[in-house]
Amino acid sequence: MLRLIAAELAHRRGRALALLAGIAVATASFTVLTGASESSRLEVRGNVAQHFRTAYDVLVRPQGSMSALERKEGLVQQNFLAGSFGGITMDQLKVVRHAPGVEVAAPLAVYGWMLPTAEIPIRLGDRLGPGKRTLFRVRTRWTADGGAIRLRDADSFVYVTRNPIQAAPPHTVGTPTRTRAMEQFTASALGPICPTRSHAASAFSPAARRWMWCWSTNGDLGNGEFPPERRRTDDIGALIQYPFPLLVAGIDPKAEAALSGADRAVVSGRYFRGDEDARRLGRGSTKTFVAPLLAASSTPTSLRADYTVEQLPRAAADALARAKGDRPRADRVLAQAGGTPVVRRTLTAADAYSTLLRQMRENTFVNALWTTGPPRYATVGPGHVRALPVKTDRFAWGAAYSAIGTGTGFIQAPILGRDTGFRAFTEHIQSPATPPPFITSTKVIGTFDPNKLVGALNPDVAPLNPFHPPAAKAADSAAAPWLGSAARR
């Protein structure tokens, strides 16, 4: 059998989207995207032909994808397929399929990383005070790697008024403040409320991570210069944003089923139908598509978020309303007000991923994709290498539109993305000028269990990469508690 990369197929790139269906794999966090790479060496002991085999016999990698270190030291970096972009042509694929001895040739086209966000409400409608306005503070703490990493996120706020709200005035590019809505204070008085910063130093600065949810009790949610979003009154509260990196790869459904048994690994929904491809939406001059996705049914991520919602004094809510569009004044009100805890909630990555899968059963717009570069290594003694850090360009977290996220020009980046990275990554933002075959939208049609793929749980078979996330194994008993894993040599 033959495993073959055909990512972003050269010369016939326009056909790639039409021919390949997508598989989305949930990963641990963006620390996987930016690095956490591990090189592996196979030491031959005994009869390899008898006791060890891969899930495929021959791998055709894109030209130039093998690093100098791989050639020199005979090493293969872990999860190397997930970072492989480029490939061969459809005509070359046909040649391979007709080569003598080839039973199955299964192309894998790695599009890149999507970053959909699970939105999880913390409902506060039953916690509103008796006055005209109520104000809440949301404190967030993240825990990862079995408790080895603990991070406090920026505080966010929920403002609720019993008055109607309207769209805020259009934001002027370059001004430091944007407002989330206009409040109808009286029958004749209308004023801006909920001012926030319109720029930030990076996606991880407090301004870029602080949310201000601005509600009317009729269910309207302030949406900046756009009309308020009509929600259910039950949704009033904090709308927690839990970003999830997903690696998306295109496959040939029939060939993949023959090679890995992917069709038999489906645990909900369905597998791809025949030669199912991306469906074009509409018949206008702009080519937009929705690509079917088969998503991993679960995530191995251990990331956890603990939320504490505090109700602030009634005087603070009224003071925030009087601040109107004066952001420094509003910031002082928010910083100085003490609060009383009213809700505590913990969300695990499994909770968030389950919510995300439900959301992605509907068409999900793709604002951007990310691709990764190869890691770089330095040789450290015989048989050992050390990964070299790569500084991330802060603008690689840019939003497609300035009002996305908290409105500072950055997306809601995963909290662990601020950690040291070992892969450079590049953002590809979707815009009307983006030519096909950029994926416009995706829709999850089913889920699969990676552990049910052929050979997934067989220790004598190398797992299908990249359907399993890379893992950093503890080298000794001293390191194991920090990694939260069993010690391995």
Residue that has been written with the tokens 């983006």 in this structure: 434
Q: What pLDDT does residue 1 have? A: 35
Per-residue confidence (pLDDT) for residue 413, from 0 to 100: 92
What DSSP assignment string belongs to 418-438? GS--SS-EEEEE--TTPPTTS
**In this predicted structure, what is the pLDDT of residue 326?**
96
User: Residue 278 in contact with residue 19, Cβ under 8 Å?
Assistant: no
Which token pair is 409?
A: 């020009």
Contact by Cβ (8 Å): 248, 24: yes
Closest by alpha carbon to 254, among 234, 276, 238, 235?
A: 276
Q: What backbone phi and psi angles, to 5 degrees, belong to 292?
A: -70, 140
Two structure tokens written together for 165: 């709200």
Class of residue 98 by CB neighbours under 10 A (exposed 0-12, middle 13-18, buried 19+): exposed
Residue 433: the pLDDT is 55
Residue 454: both structure tokens together: 């052929």
Domains of the chain, residue spans: 2-116+244-300+358-483, 118-241+302-347
For residue 402, the model assigns a pLDDT of 85
Q: Calculate ∠ Cα 273-277-283, nearest 5°.
A: 125
Distance, CA of 72 to CA of 63 (rounded, Å): 17
CA distance 323 to 336: 14
Reported pTM = 0.83
The Cα–Cα gap between 393 and 409 comes to: 14
pLDDT for residue 367: 83
Between CA 441 and CA 11 the distance in angstroms is 24
d(C-alpha 75, C-alpha 58), whole Å: 17
Q: SS3 of 94, please?
A: helix
H-helix or E-strand containing 96?
A: helix 90-97
Are residues 107 and 6 in contact, defined by beta-carbon separation less than 8 angstroms? yes
pLDDT tens, the chain, 489 aa long = 334 333 333 333 333 333 345 666 654 333 333 333 333 333 334 444 444 556 677 878 777 777 777 777 777 766 667 677 767 788 888 988 999 989 999 888 888 889 999 999 999 999 999 999 999 999 999 998 778 889 999 999 999 999 999 999 999 888 999 999 999 999 889 999 999 999 999 999 999 999 999 999 999 999 999 999 999 999 999 999 999 888 888 889 999 999 889 999 999 999 999 878 888 876 666 667 888 999 999 988 889 999 999 999 999 999 999 999 999 999 999 999 999 999 999 999 999 999 999 999 998 888 888 888 878 888 887 767 888 898 888 888 998 888 889 999 999 999 988 888 888 888 988 765 555 545 578 899 999 998 888 877 666 665 566 676 666 666 677 777 666 544 433
Give the separation between CA 156 and CA 12, rounded to whole angstroms.
47
For residue 36, what pLDDT is reported?
Answer: 32
What distance lies between CA 179 and its chain's CA centroid?
27
How many Cα atoms within 13 Å fall on the side-chain side of residue 333?
Answer: 26
Question: Cβ(428)–Cβ(219) under 8 Å?
Answer: no
Which among 462, 467, 466 has a CA at the least distance from the CA of 448? 467
Distance CA 197, CA 185 (A): 23
CA triple 294-469-483, angle to 5 deg: 145
Q: Which of 482, 380, 370 is nearest to 425 (CA)?
A: 370
d(CA 67, CA 71): 7
pLDDT at 41: 33
**3-state SS, residue 452:** helix
d(CA 375, CA 248): 20
Q: Which of 75, 77, 69, 94 is nearest to 9 (CA)?
A: 94
> Which pLDDT does position 286 carry in this prediction?
64
Q: Which residues contact 281 (CB under 8 A, 6 or more apart)?
A: 288, 289, 290, 440, 441
